[in-house]
Structure 1
């Protein structure tokens, strides 16, 4: 599992243990020498545990780095030498950018170098980006596991054997247990990579060579650059390098003379050349000349330069030219050229287009002097008769070839309010006649208008019925108003100055149904327009206040005032004695729809309706309620005793108080005072008066009132009650005793079902 070279070690860390230390000997070429090297050693923290980042900082501060495992032998050595630790040890591999990487060398973990435990890495709880090694684990000892980097474990460090000068700085120093080995870079060999590869010595001919030798003459990475003299080109690469294979990167180049493109004699001309280094090569010169009747265009002599180009472009021989001729206006030119356009020997024939006639010589020829045999001719247009403007109109002509001549165009137009009858435009043709007859002007008409519904029309016509200049006035009958323009005029476009107006009935403001009411309307001339009538009504529970019917008048206003609906009112309610009332009002206090809820205070009950509603007739639903005090069962004086009660709200009702007393010779068993509660029950069971012939019972029952009675009820056990009962003379007295003890807080001991059984046992 390769990790790359490791750096030299540092000071000893506090709280660390050293588990291995070795030394090695190195052999140099040609002689044997002993080199003492600090051995590669392992260290671990024996005080405290660290997160992965803390562990790495610890190792880099005092040693080299976290351990980078290289092979199975190293794993076995660590597993045997390190002590067992329940949280295991951090090593120097971590997930960086989603890839497991040796942090010391930044090298990616290869598949063949993996040493994961079964099912790992699983990233089970996510963010398990750091790696621990199982040391002396019962299962899969020495294997790896991915863990969250925040966990705390022992730091497993190493101190490197490799030094900056190891492997002659020409190879990679690879750590081994107690030593290191050199993996030489390409081009170097030897135990310490001290030897360099040699290539064959170069000795080129006719080529300039410049070499650099970083590791010795013509050795690995020696570079030689080649250059040819001006005018010569190199065949082959210009730079060679000595490779690690002891071969040069290419063959030695050679120099040859640079050639220029081959030249040939121009048409109607001659070529004469001299060559120094080969045909049309560097240094060659060529002279040009032309035949009689032609002239040279370009440089007379060219030379092949070192760039492989001639000193100029090859010249040409061109025939002597005459001035360029062009076709006459409205005419054509037809030429034949023997030696180029309008050159010596060219002939040109002239002609005119249709509607034109030629004035001058029909044919010319270019002579050797560079002049034509005569002057160029021209074309003149054929003429048509003169035209004049029509009545009520205008004439506008454009003359291309003279007044009223062939090609002249004459446009006719009429004054505003008139339209042209006939051809709008005439053209003078090649025959000397116009393309048609002259047109005339007539007045423009507009669409016929009619009086609007409920209205009248009054028109005046200047140039005929409903023609240009006619004006029409509109009006409406009483009760209607004009919508649109009151007066229209027929324009020159044959349209009126606006749309025809219409008469609409005068409208009144829109009406709406009153709140809690309805609106019913009839419309004669449109919604809420003149003549519309509207009837108003109210919903159940509401009364109409105002006019029942309104009518839209000719002035655009309604008769009467706007009515409204008011809710029917019920008599005002008030809460009964000792009761509460809560009301909600939809349409006003105690009006239609109002709801009132009634409730009584504690100790009282409601008699009558709990909720009352104000109905449409103005009366309340239900009966008026009242509050009545809650009653408790009536009490009787005990045998051989007396009863004295006070009543606030009626006999034996809520808050009534009743006091019990016994006659002389009797003893009260139970509470002295009872009160009627809001639940309709008395606060205690009524007491009894027992015959006074049990002194011991007097001592106990002396505590029958106050706090002592409660204490006595808690202390008395079943046996004590039995002893008391045996001293009572009658069954009734025993039963009363049981009831009184039940008031003392022992209801679970003396149930009614157990009276008879206990009574028999006590007898």
Structure 2
């Protein structure tokens, strides 16, 4: 019985152990629950429930995690996640660069590839480095400069530069040891990034030039080689010309070449344009064979050869113009005139320029032509006047009072020539002269030759019964009449004085001036009818029997043009405008005109003027601004639809309110309060004026009177009054 009991207890214990064993956490459970690719599970074993294990990261990762086994399941408690281990910067290599070929950071598994810069080559066996668990593998690659082969030159060539240890970028220059030799080949070569020289090593040889290939040209002769300083003779094809006369074989630098280069260019004529000179065609400086050019010289210049101010030239086949293209200043040579007082030209009168003046005198018996005081150089290269001097002569006098001369006919006389003469009856030689003499001013003296025994009658004529009579009759010229009654008068001449006061007064007919009241016969003063205005002087003058013109006129007139709001009149202000006068209006900024911009004075009345208003849906500055009210937006000229402004009524226009708000609606201001004075401004009337007769305590007119011009009359009492803020109807000015 005891044995049976022990067996039962053993079996029961065994069953209890198996139950506990089934609640442990296994490695397989962990793998099924978590992603374990970054964790090191090599030491993870079955773990009893309630125990905690620490797991490190796999190779190349850093971090630590804690997990607890609870009833057969793993629970993560804490720790740092596993991340790739950093290797740090892989290191730079001189004369090279690197870039990542795997991964985007310097962490475990990343790989970088190195490259050498241009002109350098890698001497390491590998160009890669990889981030391993212990850090970067391999050493940093090394880049060394590419080298070029050692240069071998002959004994005549001078090598300048490092020819034995040249690396990329090094330049080697060459020269000949002797000045009598030139390089054949490049003057310099450089070491490229492939370790090769850019050219071959040159040699030095005797200076030689060879027959060149000349475009549009040819070499004369059969010589193939030329030595130093040899001259090359060459020509050019038709319509082409050599650039230079000859070319010489010359050493320039390290080469033998032709200098200047043998070249042919198309025949061309060059033009250096001068300011002021006009050319056709214009704006060109180069012209080709047979092309023509028209030239017009500026004022004071000409073509020196042809003496013309306009000319035409042609471009010839030798590249030269057919004649000069220059305009020379016009000059005048010293005049060959023996009558000029100073004739030593080399010392006194030199060549003159265009419009230059020279003062001169003439020898005795001659005078400057046409009374000139100076000679002037003209555009034809001569001096004016031409000739400079003319002989002094006196023409036969045209004096019908001379009755007898010493010659049958009075011919032209020269300086100081004399002629005896006598005068007709009633006249005598002036100053009792016995002969007439030709003077230096080309006239005969005395002048006049004859004089009346008595002075002549102004505006009249004398009739003598005989030449010696001292009593004579006189009458007046047309439009004049004697001061005595009748058409003839009588006077006496005694001691060269006239007795009896013989005078001729004006006899002008009084003109008819339309629309005038009368013309005074005494002073011919003009007075216009009512309603007409005098245009011109009010007095008509009679001169030598003729009325001075223009005669004055009596015309309809208009007063100043009517005022148009927001418009200006485009003429200076004046009070009177003649019949048919026209006046133009112009609207101010932001306003448009309605009607004709022009009005005309017709029958003393102006035609209807235009109006200036704002465009639709705009309002202008409210009427009365600054006088009746003050607004908030003082600087604006027009306002858009719906715009609001605030205003304050000004004294004395605050009779019905102190201010308010206005809104722009349909082009009109809609005000909450009107600024009204105790009495508004008195009404105006056409062709009339208002005068204040009475005012209130604020200086506002309460009674006014009206007046009209003399040609108008009032239709009702001249005075009106302001009653309850409103004026009575004013009178009108009606034409009489």
TM range (shorter): under 0.3
* Structure richer in strand, relative to its length: 2
| Larger RCO (CA within 8 A; separation ≥ 6) | 1
Bigger proportion of residues as helix: 1
Q: Say which one has the larger Rg.
A: 1
**TM-score, normalised to structure 1's length?**
0.21
